[in-house]
Structure 1
Amino acid sequence: MLRLDRVDIEDLATALADQTDYEHRWLIDPRTGEIAFWTSDTGIDGENPVELDELDLIPIVPIPSHVWFQDMVDFAEGISDPEVGRRLAQALHGRGAFRRFKNHVHEHHPDLISVWHAFRDARAERRAVEWLQDQGLIDEESAQQFAADRPDPALP
């Protein structure tokens, strides 16, 4: 089992959120907790191609986008100003919702940028720790303590 402080939770959260279609993979070393980035052209060291099955690393499969989308919905619903919440929710309709939501926050509600980032990051980090537990890399007690220590921040 890994100690939770040996894993870069922020990097793992980034890997779990990576929805790009490029030919790359994020991996974790189950012995050290180190996160690696692999491509077919440059391997994991950026220079030497290597096949994934030659590595003793665990692939990090991204969490589906609908989970991250729900974070935006929950954020919009949690804002105390009904008009702001309604406008944020409107930004989520149709294709391009992620970009529209981000743009709306940045252009019309810059006071919410840090609040949104804190909200999004808290959820992403809890998901990363849940993923570690699901992979059997950390114990349940560590995962539960991490989640208890990092609730969603209060929304204005």
Structure 2
Amino acid sequence: MTIKLEQVIEAIEMSDDFFTSFWDTKTGETVYLADPLLNGETDEVLAAEIENDPKRFLRFPTKYEIHEYRIMEDFIEQLSPGKVQSDLSYSIRGKGAFRRFKESIRYHGLEQQWYDCLEKAYRDIAVRWCTEEGLAYSR
């Protein structure tokens, strides 16, 4: 089976607590199963299909498998030691780390560099997922 890498990356980018995304190997589409405890929505038909035919539906990586915090740490480690690296390291400590990190990269003019790093990390995760699932991918 072959999947478009961009489809995997899009599922990774959209990963959140409210939905679990799957690749339907029969249709080639991405499907989303809502978590009824978090958003009150249920899709009993899709839930039954996934339960009855689990090999048909391959779960995309969840936000917990993506580890955006670790990606931020890796980005900071790649920077030259100094004030910028120190500021960014401090920004990701404690509550509000993601907001402060984004403010800091904007302040230091590193937004494009960060988004390039994040894009590469998502692509690497997507390739690894395809490999683990035994899927060929197209660009």
Q: How much does 1:37 deviate?
A: 2.3
- 1:28 partnered with 2:26: no
Distance 1:134 1:30 in 2: 15
| 1:65 to 1:93, Cα distance in 2 relative to 1, 3 A | farther
Aligned residues: 129
| 1:95 to 1:66, Cα distance in 2 relative to 1, 3 A | farther
Whichever residue aligns with residue 58 of structure 2, its letter is I
Which structure features the higher share of strand residues?
2
Distance 2:85 2:77 in 1: 6
- Paired residue for 1:71? 71
> Percentage identity across aligned positions?
24
Residues 5-154 of structure 1 mapped to structure 2, 5 A cutoff: 5=4, 8-15=7-14, 18-20=15-17, 22=18, 24-39=19-34, 41=41, 43=43, 50-55=45-50, 56-64=56-64, 67-80=67-80, 82-106=82-106, 108-109=107-108, 111-138=109-136
Q: List structure 1 runs of 4+ shifted beyond 3 angstroms.
A: 4-7, 40-43
Q: What's the secondary structure of 1:37's corresponding residue?
A: strand
TM-score normalised to structure 1 length: 0.67
Q: Deviations over 1:86-138 (max 9, x none)?
A: 000001111222222112212x12x2111100101101111012112212223
Structure 2 residue ranges without an equivalent (≥5): 51-55
Q: What's the secondary structure of 1:80's corresponding residue?
A: coil
Verify the 8 A CA contact 1:7 1:34 in the aligned structure 2. Answer: no
Whichever residue aligns with residue 30 of structure 2, its letter is I
| 1:65 to 1:102, Cα distance in 2 relative to 1, 3 A | farther
**Higher RCO, Cα 8 Å, sep 6+:** 2
